[in-house]
Structures are given as structure tokens and as C-alpha cells.
Amino acid sequence: MTVAGEKDNKAVVAAVIAAFAALGGAILSQPYFQQKLIEPRFCDRKFEFRAPVTGQPISGNTGVVVIGKTCGYDAREDHGWLFDFDPEDGTYYSVSDRPLGGREWALFDGPLGDPGDNRKKYSLVVFQADDSCNRTLLEQIAKGDGETAFQQPPAGCTEEDRRDIIVSYPKP
């Protein structure tokens, strides 16, 4: 009689395990839990580039699609801004007229550089902006009709990632 009792207990244990596995699978398959569990808990950088790669040649008149990601994105607190940096004149030039949004982002950046550039190094730079820096950039963008340029980033802007690219224009 103990053999039959043991079989019944094993069946109950197996059923309980299967029920918990099904419940866990149902919970983890929900988008909210996927987002919170899959996303890394700690990040080296809040904003970072995925493309283009460092050293990539770019046609200045064609431009480039810049792709990146935001780690642990919170729409209320995370303000990322993308700029082109010209090392010759030490100036940052805005790429967009509003902060980057979302866990993944992509922007078209072009035209890039100046006609006549031949294998000139430029940098793509993404800044994390606190509320003060974000307000300053939004005000400068509004005054500049959607564009801004500066030598030093405003207070509260922290460089998160940089990609050096090589820009050339076709010869006439």
C-alpha cells in the first residue's frame, strides 16, 4: 500500500511543479516583466551608440543613421542629446531639436561636415542632460530655429558616449 501512496504523492508534487511553472511562464511572458527582468540592472553608460562604428567612413552629403540605446530608460528623467563635434573649431552642433526618447533610438544625421572635407575626423557625441541642461538646450534650440552650437556643453550635461567618424565629400 505504500507504493500506491508514494505514486499518488509523486503525481501531486509533479502537478504542483507544473502549475507553478505555468504560472511563472504566464507572468514572465507579460511585457512589463520582460522589460524589467531582461534589462540590465547596472549600466556602464546611460546612453550609448550601436552604430556607426568608430572610424567608419561617412559621405558628408549623404549623412548617416545614428543608432543607440538607453539603459534603464525613464521618460521623466532621462534626457539624451546627440551632437556632432568638429575638433578643428571645437564646436558641438545639434543633430536634433529635442531629447532622444526610448530604450532604443535612431536619428538621421546629415549632411555632415563641410563640402571639401576629405577624410576629416568628426565625432558623434551623446550627452545625458539633467533637468537644468535639458531646459537650457530646449531654449537654445528654440532661439536657433531648431539648431544650436556651443564650445562647452551647458552645466548639467555629461558626455556618455563618443564615436569618431571619418567624413568626406565627393570631389566635383
| Parallel, antiparallel or unpaired: strands 157-168 and 57-59 | parallel
**Tens of pLDDT, residues 89-109:** 999 999 989 999 888 999 999
Cα(69)–Cα(101) distance, integer angstroms: 9
List, in sequence order, every beta strand (DSSP E) within 9-148: 47-51, 57-59, 64-70, 79-86, 91-94, 104-109, 120-129
CA dihedral 98, 106, 116, 169 (to 10 degrees): -160
Region 78-84 average pLDDT: 94
Residue 34 pLDDT > 50? no
For position 146, what pLDDT does the model report? 76
**Tens of pLDDT, residues 129-156:** 999 999 999 999 998 877 889 999 999 9
Confidence band of 75 (pLDDT split at 50, 70, 90): confident
Residue 3 pLDDT > 90? no
For position 21, what pLDDT does the model report? 67
